[in-house]
Structure 1
Amino acid sequence: MPMTDQGPLGRKLGALQTATELGGGRVPEDALASAEQVLERAGKRRRLSSEHTVVGFFGATGSGKSSLFNAVTGQELARAAATRPTTAEPLAAVWGAEGSGPLLDWLEVDQRHLLDGPPAGADPRGTWVRLADRLRGGGRDAAGGLILLDLPDFDSIAVQHREIVTRLAGQVDVLVWVVDPQKYADAALHREFLEPLAAHRGVTLVVLNQVDRLAERDVAGVLSSLRGILAQDGLAQVPVFAASAVTGEGIEPLRHAIAEVAERRTAATDRLLSDVRTAARALGAEDAGGVPAGVGKGTEARLVDALTEASGASTVVRAVQQSYRLEGGRRTGWPVVRWLARARQDPLRRLGLRRGDHPDRRRRDSPAPDDPRVHRTSLPGRSPAQRAQADGAIRTFADRASEGAPDTWRSSVRRAARSHDQTLPDELDQVISSADLRAGAGSWWWHVINVLQWFALLAAVAGLGWLGVLALAGYLQFEVPPAPDVEGFPIPTLLVAGGLLFGVLLALLTAPLVRLGARRRAHRARRRLRGGIADLARERIVAPVGAEIERYGAFREALAAASGRH
């Protein structure tokens, strides 16, 4: 239910609702269920009469709770007994009946006594008389009223009695706990009710009933002991009254306190605010107050490095380097021995990374073979060590990013980091297959070297042909002029020797340049692959982790607003 009221209670309820939605699946289920119950209860209570104040009388068997209830109301409405529970269901005394019906229906109170005027014996100048006069006076100021509830004993042997008490302890606006001198330190009362409701001390009253059974000198000591126990329960500032339903001692001060609460007409809001604060603190019970480290550049860089290694990118980079060297040898090596390089398979083609090599490329109606959505590499399957490396890198990244958050939220950050575990290997493969590795692309100077190599080879072949013609003519006894020479060396011989020597030397001199170019090509390939993997990591791992950390920050802000820390 959206909370649209912009008052303090509406804002805190809205903040609690936001925290509940953000904490789903990330905080303990019992805390979420409790917060949802508070929201539901608050929604129902706010739709009912906010002008009525509901005061519940709670107590153990024999505490005189019903007798005290009768004394406060001034009428014998509740049946009282000293040793056994006599209140089987809630009983209501109502001042200001208008609008109380739906509220009592929600409280599931069927026994209702509509009263008019102050209790018998009330101080004519007291707050209760003024309240009663206002409620009887009619008009705009008469809106609202007061409802006192006498409830079953919380320690009754009847299970349904305890269920009623537990339910109404979460619904009434003001809680009046009635204890007696014999059982005021009862562990069940303090452990099961007072301690859990300590946050509601602003709407809690405690009455030490039956003080007529104590010697006058002992009353102060018992009150001091009771206050000490209440302080241990977190209720140090709660008003404590000494009263006796038999003698009437302390009844008027108790009436005055109850009437003052009803006059202010804020008890329902105060109670709901306490409920919201309690639920918010339960939601943040595991929150140590730390702020997660978040996603840092160094942490992200280490993740990308690890994924790059685990993806097999190093194998691809080595293949790029080897492919360049192989192609460089084919294009710049001595033409006579180039067939040796052509006999070796290109490592990029072996990995399925040579673009344009697909046999269907020639068919116009076939899909583009370079489309990464349909193209797969032939990289070896990820080894267990590579999978463990990737898993460890993701886990380490999530742990460092969530450091400082509670364990439940750190677990949710880890789940966010691994939210694409099933598709990540294929996506890494697609990043590699779609990367522009410039497979098969050469360098501009290869063409120059290639032309020079072929000129050298042609010179050597021409020289060999010339020498062959001269040899054949001499063998057939033809008269041929001698071959021209340079410095005494025949030109055909110079062409053969120079062509062969130049080609071999050129191949030897360009080999280091090819190796240097291969290293540069491999470096660029690694940079491109790492860039693609970095983009994938940001989309599939970093972004979900960042979103989860932002969610935790919004959750903490909502908790702070709901609990009143700001």
Structure 2
Amino acid sequence: MSRHGAAAEATRLDRRLMALNEARELAAGAFPEDVLDSVLQVLERAGSRRSLSADHTVVGFFGATGSGKSSLFNAVSGEEIATAAARRPTTSEPLAGIWGTEGSEELLDWLEVRNRHHASPVPGFADEGTGLILLDLPDFDSTRAANRKIVERMVGLVDVLVWVLDPQKYADAAVHNGFLAPLASHGAVTLVVLNQIDRLPDRDIPPVLDSLKGILARDGLGKVQVIGASAVVGTGMDKVRAAIRQVATQRQAQSQRLGADVTRASARLAEASGQGAAAGVKAASKSRLAGELAAAANVPLVVDAVVRSYRLESARRTGWPVTRWLVRFRPDPLRRLNLRREGARPDVNRTSLPPAGAPERARTDAAVREFADAASDGAPGPWRAVIRGAAREGRDRLPDALDQAIESTELKAGSTAWWWTPFNIVHWLALLTALGGFAWLGVLAALGYFQLPVPEVPLVQGWPVPTVMIAGGALFGIVLAILAKFIAGAAARARGSAARKRLKAAVAAVAENLVVEPVELEVSRLASFNTALQAAARQ
């Protein structure tokens, strides 16, 4: 493939790696650390590999003891780079055959391959400018733990994986379950060679190859190229070299390998997450939460105190002047709740509202839980737990926050009403009129008592003016007091309604800050995670 195609593949890989890293960061705290660490290893490995030679394709030869892996390596290389031995293990350290030396040293240092051989050109396969590294690796079934670790590490590092099997152990569960099946997503950079077919009768070769292909298909590698070969007699060697040369000249193996790693890592994240999206926060759920918290925070009690306080103050300001002083002996409901203070600091002061008891706490917990359940509906298990956890964290701070919210809400308890002053003036005029009538009659009575001339008292509709003044002042005062009581009741209800709105708004703000926003953040995190994961998994 052209360099343009390789560049496009690399650009696509860039986007997938960025998306995978974003998904990993978003999943922090929601998934087990071992899952996130495995993804981080993929990202770090990809970053390291891409910083090294892009002109070299690293091909690793993997196989079990006795599979003829080293012999195949030599046959492909065209010279005796590896010394095949009959005893186990046949290979104890990785051995590199190198075509194209420039840039290979740093790459081999990263691979931790010390044994290096600059191979001679092989016509039609590799020359000095090819940019190819073949690795002969230890047997994956070696009894030495160090050898097995080398193989496991190299499986995650090489660009192309060549699995060398033999007719006797090609169905061995150790290689299929331990290596091939877990790497099903790496089919594009995997080649399977059935070596030593010279030991089979010609008629048995096709059935054995078909059997191997069937097993690979069950491993998820049904599209992997399978080649029958014999390193001893040279059968199929041209096909093996051609397959390796094709991936080397296309210069896509590195990106394809890393892309397969991203696919595998994405699948692991998807498995840890599960499928689904959260329903999210709805307006109705927010309203229910605010309503329940308002009830638990004694908002109805405060509203009732506002109404009664206004009525009490109205009676003190507009009641019958002779008896209104008695109102002063009735305690102000808002003062009893410590909600009617001038210059109070809500961050320091607290209300005297009844502390939340078991019923109120249960109501608060139930409201928060119901809200979180509704918002997390449809989310997969780990994310549902994260969303509910965010709601629970805010729930523990609700009592103090709600108390401060009520304390800081402007109830307008100290503000006067416009109608108090005119009513008060008229009340005093009515009282003064009645007192004037009493004084007039008193003067007349005193004059009569002292046998002094008593002036003629003017009449109104046959009634003496002083009597009219007394009766009219008293009657007008009573009517005015009754009217003031009705007006005060209506105004108190209006003021209570306004206070209820402000208190509920304050409670809703607390709920928004401590419960709604954290939940919305986690819901948004899940949505972003799903988007990033889809982008990372998109091949």
Q: TM-score, normalised by structure 2?
A: 0.91
In structure 2, what is the equivalent of residue 311 of structure 1? 297
Deviates more, 1:224-233 or 1:205-214: 205-214
Distance 1:81 1:395 in 2: 68
In structure 2, what is the equivalent of residue 330 of structure 1? 316
Deviates more, 1:200-209 or 1:77-86: 77-86
In structure 1, what is the equivalent of residue 136 of structure 2? 150
- Quick check: 2:98–2:116 contact (8 Å CA) kept in 1? yes
Where 1:147 maps in the other structure, the secondary structure is: strand
Closer, same or farther: CA 130–221 of 1 in aligned 2, 3 Å: closer
Where 2:132 maps in the other structure, the secondary structure is: strand
In structure 2, what is the equivalent of residue 453 of structure 1? 427
- Cα deviation, 1:337-380, whole Å, max 9, x if unaligned, reads 32332211111112222243xxxxxxxxxxxx234333432222
1:130 aligns with 2:124: yes
1:112 aligns with 2:116: yes
2:337 aligned to which of 347, 351, 360: 351
2:162 aligned to which of 165, 176, 187: 176
1:342 aligned to which of 310, 328, 349: 328
- Cα deviation, 1:78-100, whole Å, max 9, x if unaligned, reads 34355632211212222223322
The one-letter code matched in structure 1 to 2:331 is Q
Distance 2:200 2:303 in 1: 93
2:401 aligned to which of 417, 427, 438: 427
Deviates more, 1:445-454 or 1:419-428: 419-428
In structure 1, what is the equivalent of residue 364 of structure 2? 390
The one-letter code matched in structure 1 to 2:152 is T
In structure 1, what is the equivalent of residue 411 of structure 2? 437
In structure 1, what is the equivalent of residue 3 of structure 2? none
- Quick check: 2:337–2:352 contact (8 Å CA) kept in 1? yes
In structure 2, what is the equivalent of residue 193 of structure 1? 179
2:454 aligned to which of 444, 456, 480: 480
Where 1:497 maps in the other structure, the secondary structure is: helix
Superposed CA RMSD in Å reads: 2.5
- Quick check: 1:293–1:401 contact (8 Å CA) kept in 2? yes
Pairwise CA distance, 1:419: 4.7
Name structure 2 gaps, 5 residues minimum. Answer: 1-8
In structure 2, what is the equivalent of residue 494 of structure 1? 468
The one-letter code matched in structure 2 to 1:229 is I
The one-letter code matched in structure 1 to 2:100 is G
2:102 aligned to which of 98, 102, 115: 98
Where 2:61 maps in the other structure, the secondary structure is: strand
In structure 2, what is the equivalent of residue 26 of structure 1? 30
1:213 aligns with 2:199: yes
2:58 aligned to which of 54, 60, 63: 54
Where 2:163 maps in the other structure, the secondary structure is: strand
- Quick check: 1:64–1:82 contact (8 Å CA) kept in 2? no
Pairwise CA distance, 1:526: 0.8
- Quick check: 2:267–2:537 contact (8 Å CA) kept in 1? yes
1:381 aligned to which of 355, 366, 387: 355
1:233 aligned to which of 206, 210, 219: 219
- Quick check: 1:209–1:242 contact (8 Å CA) kept in 2? yes
1:40 aligned to which of 37, 41, 44: 44
- Cα deviation, 1:280-320, whole Å, max 9, x if unaligned, reads 22223244543332332222222222222222222211111
- Cα deviation, 1:381-401, whole Å, max 9, x if unaligned, reads 222322333333233323323
1:296 aligns with 2:300: no
The one-letter code matched in structure 2 to 1:26 is A
The one-letter code matched in structure 1 to 2:325 is W
Distance 2:83 2:371 in 1: 68
In structure 2, what is the equivalent of residue 71 of structure 1? 75
- Quick check: 1:287–1:405 contact (8 Å CA) kept in 2? no
Pairwise CA distance, 1:479: 5.2
Pairwise CA distance, 1:35: 1.5
Closer, same or farther: CA 494–445 of 1 in aligned 2, 3 Å: same
Pairwise CA distance, 1:330: 1.6
- Quick check: 2:395–2:515 contact (8 Å CA) kept in 1? no
Pairwise CA distance, 1:476: 5.1
Where 1:55 maps in the other structure, the secondary structure is: strand
1:527 aligns with 2:531: no
Distance 2:386 2:376 in 1: 9
In structure 2, what is the equivalent of residue 126 of structure 1? none
- Quick check: 1:462–1:496 contact (8 Å CA) kept in 2? yes
Pairwise CA distance, 1:275: 1.0
Distance 1:418 1:235 in 2: 46
In structure 2, what is the equivalent of residue 363 of structure 1? none
- Quick check: 1:53–1:262 contact (8 Å CA) kept in 2? yes
Where 1:441 maps in the other structure, the secondary structure is: coil
The one-letter code matched in structure 1 to 2:40 is E
Pairwise CA distance, 1:69: 2.2
The one-letter code matched in structure 1 to 2:358 is P
Pairwise CA distance, 1:175: 0.6
Pairwise CA distance, 1:44: 1.3
Distance 1:555 1:239 in 2: 35
In structure 2, what is the equivalent of residue 261 of structure 1? 247
Pairwise CA distance, 1:169: 0.2
Q: TM-score, normalised by structure 1?
A: 0.87
Distance 2:456 2:183 in 1: 124
- Cα deviation, 1:163-183, whole Å, max 9, x if unaligned, reads 111100000111111222232
Distance 1:239 1:316 in 2: 78
Deviates more, 1:74-83 or 1:102-111: 74-83
- Quick check: 2:274–2:381 contact (8 Å CA) kept in 1? no
Deviates more, 1:448-457 or 1:109-118: 448-457
In structure 2, what is the equivalent of residue 399 of structure 1? 373
In structure 1, what is the equivalent of residue 6 of structure 2? none
- Quick check: 2:433–2:470 contact (8 Å CA) kept in 1? yes
Name structure 1 gaps, 5 residues minimum. Answer: 119-128, 137-141, 357-368
Distance 2:235 2:271 in 1: 43
- Quick check: 1:355–1:439 contact (8 Å CA) kept in 2? no
Distance 2:474 2:87 in 1: 124
Distance 1:343 1:76 in 2: 112
Where 1:437 maps in the other structure, the secondary structure is: coil
The one-letter code matched in structure 1 to 2:47 is G
- Cα deviation, 1:477-525, whole Å, max 9, x if unaligned, reads 5553464444444333333333323322332233222211111110011
- Quick check: 2:273–2:383 contact (8 Å CA) kept in 1? no
In structure 1, what is the equivalent of residue 511 of structure 2? 537
Distance 2:237 2:371 in 1: 66
Where 1:285 maps in the other structure, the secondary structure is: helix
Where 2:167 maps in the other structure, the secondary structure is: coil
Where 1:62 maps in the other structure, the secondary structure is: coil
Where 1:7 maps in the other structure, the secondary structure is: helix
The one-letter code matched in structure 2 to 1:391 is D
Where 1:193 maps in the other structure, the secondary structure is: helix
Where 2:271 maps in the other structure, the secondary structure is: coil
- Cα deviation, 1:396-425, whole Å, max 9, x if unaligned, reads 323323333322223333343445455543
In structure 2, what is the equivalent of residue 123 of structure 1? none
Distance 2:327 2:489 in 1: 15
Where 1:15 maps in the other structure, the secondary structure is: helix
